[in-house]
Chain A
C-alpha cells in the first residue's frame, strides 16, 4: 500500500522568494509527511509547463525586479489559477504574490500593474514601508504572528474577508486594521517570518484541504512540534 500522494507546487521560487518562502514549503511538506503522505514538490518558473496534478500552491514575495520578471507569465497563468482556486485548491500567497493575486497594483508614479483578479483587492503604492513584527487575531486561526515589510497598501473590496485584525503592526494598509485576505481555501497575507512555522493552524488548514480534496479524508490529529509554541510567544513579545 503506497502512501497517498500530495502534489505541492511552488510558484516562481526563482524570482519570488526573498522572505523565507522556502520555510512555508518545508513546513507543509513536513506536516504532510508526519501524517503519512508522500509529498511531491514541483517548481513553476516563467515559461515552465504547469503540472497537471496540483493539490496545494505556495508563492511568495519578490522585489520589484522579481515581480517584473513574472508578471507576463502570471497573466497567462491567471485563468488556470482562478479555476483551481474556485475549485477549492488551497493556496498561500505572501506579500508580492498577494498583491498580484488582486485586481491591480498602482505604483506611486501612477503606473498600473494588472493583477489576475483571483482576490477582490486593490493595492496602491504607499508613501512609506510598513515594517515590523505583527500580530493579528483571526476568527479561523486564532492569534497569527509574523513580520511585515511592504510599501503597497492593500484594500479589501466587495466583501472580501481579511485573514485577521491587527493588534500589533499596520496590516494591509495601516488604516483599517485588516491584514491579509481570504477566498475559498486561499490564504493571502503580507506576513512572513516565515508565516507557517509559527502559525501551525494556518499550515494545517492548507494541508487539510489539500488532503480532503485529493483523497477525501484527513486525519486531523494535532502534531507535537517542539519549540513551536515557545517561538510564537517569543515572537509576539518582541518590539515592533
Chain B
C-alpha cells in the first residue's frame, strides 16, 4: 500500500513539477519520504538488475552508449535520462516510467551516478554490474581529495554482485580490483602508443606518463583512433568502427561501453548489432554535440576539470574554428579556479579566442594572457558574449568550451536561435 501511495504521490508531484517547469528531483523526494524502499523494490526486481556507471569524466556519454548498445541487443532499458544523477533524480526517473501499480517495465536499469551519491544508492540497491571510468581532479572543493573520490568508487565496486568493469589505465581505478567481491573483474584499456594522449593528473607536470608496469589483460582495448575512426581489439580480433562521436576521450569511453555491454549480454552477444549500435551513437547533451546556428555548426564542449579540458583541447583542433570559452564558478561548476592553471592552452595561441565569458571570464582571460593566447573580447555577460560570438564571424564554424552551468545558460540562449533540447 505504501509503495502504491509513494508511486501515486510521486507521479502527482512530477506532473505538477513538469507544469511548473523543471524540478527533476522534487517528485523523487516526495516518493522517498513516503516509501524509503521505493527504489530497491522497483529496481531490485528487474530481470537483469541494475548497472551503475560512475567516475569523474565521461559518465553521461558512456551511459548513453551502454543504453543504446543494450537496446540494440533487444533489451528494454531503463535509464536516468534527465541528467539528474543523484538518488532522488533516479527515483524521479523511475516514477516517470512505472505503471500506476509501481512496476517498472524494463529488463535492466543503466544508471549514471555521481560518485558521492552512488555510495548512498548502492546501500539501497546492490548493482549487478558496475563500470568505473576514472578518478580525476573534479570539484575538489566538494570532495576534498581525489583519494576521497576513489574511496567512493571503491564502495561501489565492493557492493557490486556480478561483474565490475574497470579502466586499466587509471591507476586509482585499476587498484579497486582488490575490493571486488563479485566473481568477475574486467578491464578496458589503451594500446601503449595511445597512452600519451591521456595524461592523468599525476602525469601533469612531469612530462612522462605513468610507468608501464604490469597491467592486467583488457577485454576491450582501444588500439587505434584517428578522427572518428577507431579500432577496438576484443580478444584477438580487431573491430574497425566509424563513429559519430568526436574526441578521443569519448572514443575511449566507447571501449568501456563495449566491455560492459559484452559482459552483460554474455555468450549470446550479437556482434554485428553491437557494432551497428556503436556506430549510431551520437554525443550526449553538451558533450561535443553539434548544433546548427545560421546554417553553421556550433559545438558545445563541456569542461569541468583540468584533465577533461586538456583532452577536449587535444581532441578538437582549433584551426578553422571560431572559439569561445565560458567559465562559471557556481556550486555545480566548482568554486575554485585553480584548475584553469593546470590546463595548457598553447594550442589556442595561433587561432586565438574570440570570446571569453562567464562569471569568471576575467580569471580565464588572465590565464590566457599568461599563456600568450590572444583574446578578442572578455565579457562576464554570457548572453551578450554569445550574441557577439555568433554575429562577428557568421561564416565560421564555432566551438564553445563551457562549464556546466554556463552550458545550461548558453543552451537557453541558443534555444532562441535554433532547435536545442533544453534540459532543466
- Enumerate chain A interface residues (CB-CB to B < 8 A): 10, 13-14, 17-23, 26-27, 30, 43, 45, 63-65, 129, 131-133, 147, 149, 151, 192-194, 197-198, 225-228, 230-231, 234-235, 238-239
Q: Select A235's contact among B204, B205, B337, beta carbons within 8 Å.
A: B337
| Nearest 9 pairs of A and B residues by beta carbon | A23-B341, A20-B338, A20-B341, A231-B362, A14-B206, A227-B365, A13-B205, A230-B362, A227-B366
A193, B144: Cβ atoms under 8 Å?
A: no
Chain B, interface size category, equals 20 to 34
- The answer to whether A193 touches B371, judged by C-beta atoms less than 8 angstroms apart, is no
Q: Does B340 have its Cβ within 8 Å of any Cβ on chain A? A: yes
Nearest to A226 among chain B residues (CB) is B369
Contacts A23-B338, A23-B341, A27-B370; A17 near B205 (Cβ below 8 A): yes
Does B339 belong to the interface (CB within 8 Å)?
A: yes
Residues of chain A with a CB closer than 8 A to B144's CB: 129, 131, 149, 151
CB neighbours (8 Å) of A64 from chain B are 145, 147
Chain A residues whose CB sits within 8 angstroms of the CB of B335 once the complex forms: 132-133, 147, 238-239
Please tell me if the beta carbons of A65 and B336 are within 8 angstroms of each other in the complex.
no
If over half of B's interface residues share one DSSP class (helix, strand or loop), that class is named, otherwise mixed; here it is: helix
Q: Mark B189-233, 1 if CB is under 8 A from A, else 0.
A: 000000000000110111000000000000000000000000000
Residue B29 at the chain A interface, CB threshold 8 Å = no
A30 / chain B contacts, CB cutoff of 8 Å: 370
Task: Give complex CA distance A54, B83 in Å.
Answer: 51
Given A149-B140, A197-B366, A198-B366, A192 and B336 touching (CB < 8 A)?
yes
**Docked complex Cα distance between A35 and B365 (Å):** 21
Indicate if B380 sits at the interface (CB-CB under 8 A): yes
Cβ B341 vs Cβ A26 within 8 A: yes
How many residue-residue contacts, CB under 8 A, span A and B?
A: 108
Smallest CB-CB separation from B142: which chain A residue? A131
**Is B64 positioned at the interface, with any CB of A under 8 Å from its CB?**
no
27 contacts between A and B (CB under 8 A): A13-B206, A17-B204, A17-B342, A18-B140, A19-B140, A19-B338, A20-B342, A21-B341, A26-B341, A26-B371, A43-B206, A63-B147, A64-B147, A65-B147, A132-B141, A133-B335, A147-B337, A147-B338, A149-B141, A193-B338, A197-B341, A197-B363, A197-B367, A226-B365, A230-B362, A231-B365, A239-B335
Determine the chain B residues whose CB is within 8 A of the CB of A133 once the complex forms: 335
Using A23-B338, A63-B146, A235-B363 as known contacts, list a sample of 11 further A-B pairs with CB atoms less than 8 Å apart, ordered by residue number in A: A14-B202, A20-B337, A20-B340, A20-B342, A23-B370, A43-B205, A64-B145, A131-B144, A132-B141, A197-B370, A226-B366
